[in-house]
Amino acid sequence: MYTSTDKMYCLIRDERAALQIVNRFGLPLGVGEKTIDEVCQANDIDTYTFLAVINYAISHTRSTTEPHTQPLLWGDDIHLPTLLKYIHSAHTYFLDFQLPRIRQHLLHAITTPQTKDERIQTLIVKFYDDYVDEIRTHIEHEDQQALYLHESDDEHMANKLKELKDLIIKYYPQQVDSMLFTALHEIDEVEEEMALHCGVEDDILTPAMQHNKKNLPFIGNSNVEDELSEREKDVLIQVVNGLSNKEIAEKLFISPHTVMSHRKNITKKLNIHSTAGLTIYAISNGLIEVR
């Protein structure tokens, strides 16, 4: 298990999972002989949170042949803004880079002249596109509602990837482009990284939000005149609970237009524009309970 006094270059050099995590936290290379704490502090990254993710990832990677055990107990010391930034960065990587790159490789393979039955190749790509659409829907839901994949969703996504690999391995024509093998390798990587990502959400983020509900830093403006009205608090609670404007209007017996006005006022007063941020605000101010 790595500590704050270990050298950052040793971590990046020796641990396979470290490079991607370092990148998602926005940390640079060229670290010289600096310790993990020195690099984190120089880049305004909470060291404890960084180490929690790093050590969890290393434990997760090594648990393929050993029973998984929690390397740390996470709670009050996790810095939620740092962790949420990391998770958002991972989402961006999956949607904007890794998944589109695999699709490019699949398309390259199906357009080669030696293919025997284009219907099989086309259906495989369609299957992959459907998988990506599901992932995108889940991620957008997480970002908007601050709700994270349950274990049943994780298992469903993992099974979809396994099914995709089975289709390619069993039924793809014999004469294939080397790009297809590259795509298969990258699908394996996605499978591993998705499992790790969901683990971070389930085993670090969720407990951290529960432990920090009374000690979360206030996000937004702290001016007294910008405090929320009782009706705005009512609307905020329903937003955090995932209700639409129409559903909020029906529940509070007001018009959808009034709901939209309250939501604009909430955003302006708190300077919080995401539902994830509003959820943290609601928890820290005792408006909702974390179960």
Give me the pLDDT at residue 67, please: 42
Instruction: Give residue 223's identity as a one-letter amino acid code.
Output: N
d(CA 25, CA 89): 8
Chain-centre distance of CA 263, in angstroms?
A: 25
Please name the CATH architecture into which domain 224-284 falls. Orthogonal Bundle (1.10)
Residue-wise pLDDT tens digits, 30-76: 999 999 999 999 999 999 999 999 999 998 876 654 444 444 555 56
Residue-wise pLDDT tens digits, 262-284: 998 898 888 777 776 677 778 77
Question: 88: closest CA among 282, 274, 290?
Answer: 274
Q: Write b or e for each residue in 65-89: b if 16 or more Cβ atoms lie within 10 A of its Cβ, otherwise e.
A: eeeeeebbebeebbbbebbbbbbbb
State the maximum Cα–Cα separation within the chain, in Å, rounded to a whole number. 71
Domain boundaries, the chain: 8-62, 81-211, 224-284
Q: Is 117 helix (H, G, I), strand (E, B) or coil?
A: coil
Average confidence (pLDDT) over 171-196: 81
d(CA 43, CA 26): 8
